[in-house]
Copies of this chain bind each other. A is one copy, B any other.
Amino acid sequence: MSKAGQHALITLRKMIASGELAAGERVAEIPTAEALGVSRMPVRIAFRTLEQEGLLVKAGARGYTVREISPESIAGAVEVRGVLEGLAARQAAERGLSAKSVAVLRQCLDDGDQLFEKGYVTEEDLEVYHDLNLRFHQQIIEASGNPAVSMALARNEHLPFASVSALAVDSNDMRREFRRFNFAHMQHHAVFDALLSRQGARAEAIMREHANATLRYAEVFASTAGMADSIKVIQREEQK
């Protein structure tokens, strides 16, 4: 479905997220259309979509500029994710988990236990963890039965650096990373326990705090370019 349009959209998203399009830079339809090898029409649609997602801002009547990303705005988006996932967890606890949800969540927990059992992690382990982390969070959001939460989160995820779908890993200090992700995994266990026990407030509190645990993007962003060499970003592909 719609090859050129999808291509333009995800390419532009990547260019913004990777910094290839610098923050504050002005983007115009015709040059980007030529650069992407498509007509102006899909670019126009993509610009509108990216504006909705908050990646571009209208620059008066003359095209768009790339949104400026500050460490504060990243922290703010992480807070938003925290309260939204907290709400999802609370509502999931109040509704009670379906058998399928229990099975999926338990599988994620088991897989994670197996990863961390050996007392250290490799980068490949973290890619696996990243995957099950996504499944875990997604399942809780589904279990909330609140589509508005799901939508609000989906929008927030588009903001670069605030997404669950991006994990920053410092490959120079894998012992520390082990402790960090093991901690995050323990929080998963705690949330699951709270959900099973229908402890809505507890589930919400854990989830809110948990938002800070999995990502250190604010640090990554604030770090100098020289230090950033050791930071590897595990990013999930857009599959829309």
Contacts and interface: CB of A to CB of B under 8 A. Distances in A.
A105 to B, nearest CB: 21
Copies in the complex: 2
Interface residues of A, number: 31
A56 interface: no
Interface stretch (A127-135, A147-155, A169-177): A147-155
Interface in A17-53: 44-45, 48-49, 52-53
A154 to B, nearest CB: 10
- Residue from A45, A76, A84 whose CB has the most chain B CB atoms within 10 Å: A76
Q: Which 10 pairs show the lowest CB-CB distances between chains A and B?
A: A76-B146, A77-B148, A52-B52, A76-B148, A83-B83, A80-B148, A83-B87, A152-B152, A155-B155, A54-B151
Interface of A: 1, 44-45, 48-49, 52-54, 61, 72-73, 76-77, 79-80, 83-84, 86-87, 91, 145-149, 151-152, 155-156, 159, 162
